[in-house]
Amino acid sequence: ARSGSAPRRCSNMKTLFFIGFMGVGKTSVSAALGRMLKLPVIEMDQQIARNEGMTIPEIFAQKGEGHFRQCETALLEGLAAESTCLVSCGGGVAMRQENVAAMRRCGTVVLLTARPEVILDRVKDSDERPLLQGKKNVADIAALMAQRRGAYEAAADVTVDTSDLTIEEVCRAVLRQVNET
């Protein structure tokens, strides 16, 4: 928001923001739900990479995590003008209060969770996770998840554990909970 003016509210309060630790299924679930509901999906990390003209690991290496986090905030603020959509947020988005405020103004925040062993299984072959470099084990993943848990839970309107569910089952659980809120 510009100084001296009230924060802009989204025209439609139905945007869903998927937050949670890497590997919980934010990308897969938002894509499947987008197909089901015929809604556009914004993949924040892909959009930032496109905007910056480099991969996420390159952004971290060349410009630093702070720059990347500023890109996330700017993208969320820009979503205030969008109509209904689904947003797959990067794992660290909910760590910044200004990001949580922007998401709350525009829609519903959906926290996806999973057990550390499940996350390890899902991310073990990916090199696109800068914060897991050299830390692809259950203990390190559990420790990083514990650091973020409070912020995730405080930001969430709805929570779904994806550990033992198919993508379709997660989509149904999200829709059920969102409709109840």
Tens-place pLDDT, residues 153-177: 999 999 999 999 999 999 999 999 9
Query: Per residue in 59-84, pLDDT tens?
Result: 989 999 899 989 999 999 887 667 78
Q: State how far the Cα of 83 lies from the Cα of 66, in Å rounded to an integer.
A: 28
- Looking up tokens 């952004």 gives 59
Q: What is the mean pLDDT of residues 84-109?
A: 90
Quick one: average pLDDT of 138-158? 93
- ∠ CA 86-91-94, nearest 5°, is 80
Q: pLDDT (tens digit, 9 = 90+) per residue, 1-34?
A: 333 333 334 444 478 999 999 889 999 999 999 9
> What distance in Å separates the CA atoms of residue 87 and residue 79, rounded to the nearest whole number?
9
90 CB-near residues (< 8 Å, 6+ apart) = 44, 45, 48, 72
